Amino acid sequence: MTDARQIVLGTYNQKKRDELQRLLAPLAIELRTLQDFPKAIEVVEDGTSFGENATKKASQQAVHLGQWVLAEDSGLCVDALKGAPGIYSARFSGEEATDESNNDLLLEKLADVPDEKRGAHYVCHITLCDPAGNVVLEVEDKCHGRITHERRGTHGFGYDPLFLIREYHQTFGQLGPTVKGLLSHRGKAVRSFVIQLKWLLEKNPQLLIKT
């Protein structure tokens, strides 16, 4: 038996884990990824919204692993592309997509689009499910910006080198993890999540403890 609070993050993405772990630090929660669970299943993300996909990933994985699972679905919505790539952000350039190929395709599609029409926003939806697959908590938030004409900076992942924060005149790729954690869709969603989770833990201190 252990008194450590633990949540499994429903992804293999270590960068996402590191980013979320920093934001969850105040609650002394150990955040693990699916890399720690060889028997984790592959959940089909066939929902029609970020919320549906996040809930599917959290619920199905929680039941399969018998663990508390936090899943998030996030993506980039570009005004000039009528909200695309949206829920298909990770595989925008095909099933074998990489960050590089996705960024290349986005730049190609926006090649002739002027600055004033390159508005975009990131969305992050977070869902936490208990080991029985019940949704215990979910939040969603956004971050607005603009798509640049070329990559800037090497921090972050995904579309970060192209996503400009207007007030700072820099991309997430230039701003680095600390500032991104304050401004990003994921940062804002996680802070809201942490506030609500803290309230739940005050009501039930045994929540998240794996026996």
What positions carry a catalytic annotation?
73
Give dist(CA 186, CA 35) in Å, integer. 21
Is position 180 annotated in a ligand binding site? Answer: yes
Is position 15 annotated in a ligand binding site? Answer: yes
Amino acid at 194: V
Is position 112 annotated in a ligand binding site? Answer: no
Rg (CA), the chain: 17
Amino acid at 112: D
Is position 158 annotated in a ligand binding site? Answer: yes
Is position 130 annotated in a ligand binding site? Answer: no
Is position 156 annotated in a ligand binding site? Answer: no
The Cα-based distances of 83 to 23, 34, 58 in angstroms read 28, 30, 25
Is position 74 annotated in a ligand binding site? Answer: yes
Is position 122 annotated in a ligand binding site? Answer: no
Is position 115 annotated in a ligand binding site? Answer: no
Is position 160 annotated in a ligand binding site? Answer: yes
> Which residues on adjacent β-strands are paired with residue 145?
120
| Burial of 115 per CB tally in 10 Å (0-12, 13-18, 19+) | exposed
Q: Give 88-131 as a DSSP string.
A: GGGGTT-TT--HHHHHHHHHHHTTT--GGG-EEEEEEEEEEE-T
In the annotated binding site for Mg(2+), the residues are 73
In the annotated binding site for substrate, the residues are 11-16, 74, 157-160, 180, 185-186
